[in-house]
Amino acid sequence: IIHAHSRDDFIFATKAAKILGKKAVWTDHADLKYIMEKHNAKTLRHAILSLAEYTSKVIVVSNSEKAEILNQLEIEQNRKKSN
């Protein structure tokens, strides 16, 4: 298992896990909420969203963080469907 704890680690650790055939686990310390709702770098947002598909688990620090991330993911999925 490769366990990442920060935004940059989410990207690079998940890529490494994918190459090595290992499971990736993320512990989010409010980075994902910031990226999902406020970050203007579309490339970073896209990289994290696409790599999220390869994670085995995402651990969050609170239920409110979980709700916010799920809400933003739903908005993102709806955008993809309308394009």
Q: What is the pLDDT of residue 77?
A: 64
Q: What is the pLDDT of residue 52?
A: 84
Q: What is the pLDDT of residue 31?
A: 80
Cα–chain-centroid distance for residue 47? 8
Q: What is the pLDDT of residue 5?
A: 93
Residues of the chain with pLDDT under 50: none
Q: What is the pLDDT of residue 7?
A: 83
Q: What is the pTM of this model?
A: 0.76
Residue 48 · residue 34 · CB < 8 Å:
no
Longest Cα–Cα distance in the chain: 36
Q: What is the DSSP string of 13-74?
A: HHHHHHHHT--EEEEESSHHHHHHHT---HHHHHHHHHHHTTEEEEEES-HHHHHHHHHHHH
